[in-house]
Chains A and B, each alone.
Chain A
Amino acid sequence: MIEGGWDYVWPAYAVTIGALLVVTVVVALRAMHWAKRARALEPKKDERA
């Protein structure tokens, strides 16, 4: 049986969780940014109406 497996398991999980967290944060920030900008346009639409 292979010994010392945890030395490889921890980095694998750290890379996975780190990469998934980074992409999640980037997507969330991007989604919030554009939603906020789109909401800011809504009063202008009302003014035109």
Chain B
Amino acid sequence: MDFIRKWVQALFFILTNGYWNFPLSKGIYKGPLKIVCSPGLNCYSCPAATTYCPLGSLQQLLAGIRMSLENGQFFVGFYVVGTMGVIGGFVGRMVCGWACPFGLFQELLYKIPSPKFGIWSPLRSIKYLLLLFMVILLPLFAIDEFGFGSTWFCKYVCPAGTLEAGLPMLVLQPGLRESIGLLFFNKLFVLVLFIIWAVLASRPFCRTACPLGAFYALFSKIKLVKLRLDPARCTHCQACHTVCPMGVRFNESPDDMECISCLACSKACMFDAISLEVGGLSIARQPRPSGCQLKNPT
């Protein structure tokens, strides 16, 4: 299953970054596909990006909401939030495990041989604060003298934007190098920090700082496609604890907001206790190995 997941991740990477003419055009894709939402974190100022980033779009809409309303245009984020909500309602954070280019990038970094560490679980809550303050409240209320807000998360934090857009644009358009300053070095520092952290710990950005993941996490209990635990089959062997890239203890918390439905736990479970369900109906079940005993057979 992990093999299939890697192919799906690669497919989404190519679909959301399918504009390969950028070395010649020296700019970004400007075609109609940019009306389509990227399910994962993928900066739309990336030269290869063919879709829009929901976080970037939402911040820009909120930052310019006063101007829109003054002009009689109700661009308040209904389309963007609606799209994000539909994706969240279908698969929630499965996007992080299957369709996010920055998630794939972190997974590849984690394969670099090094000492590996866990992540202190209270740090998980930072991403919800970033979603609330840097994606919603600050763009909406921290305005300049002209009534415009700013894209706070993109501007000061987003390492995906630095990696996918900031650095490539500096290569493509050397004239921009004169414009870089403290802001860019701050963002470069954040990117380097998360790259080093991703070598040492599994998916640190997803677990601590991704507001998109935080939004999708709100759907963990009600999403259509999710993992299901069969308590009767669970022997509490903790095999699911050790393989989870997000540090979820699945048998203790089956609806954990951190679960990205990568199915690593399902594969590791020798007792067939974890399966995939769609809207309440179980659709995938691995055959139980011969000789395995159920703890509480019914």
Q: Do A and B come together as binding partners? A: no
Chain A residues proximal to chain B, CB less than 8 Å:
none
Chain B residues proximal to chain A, CB less than 8 Å:
none
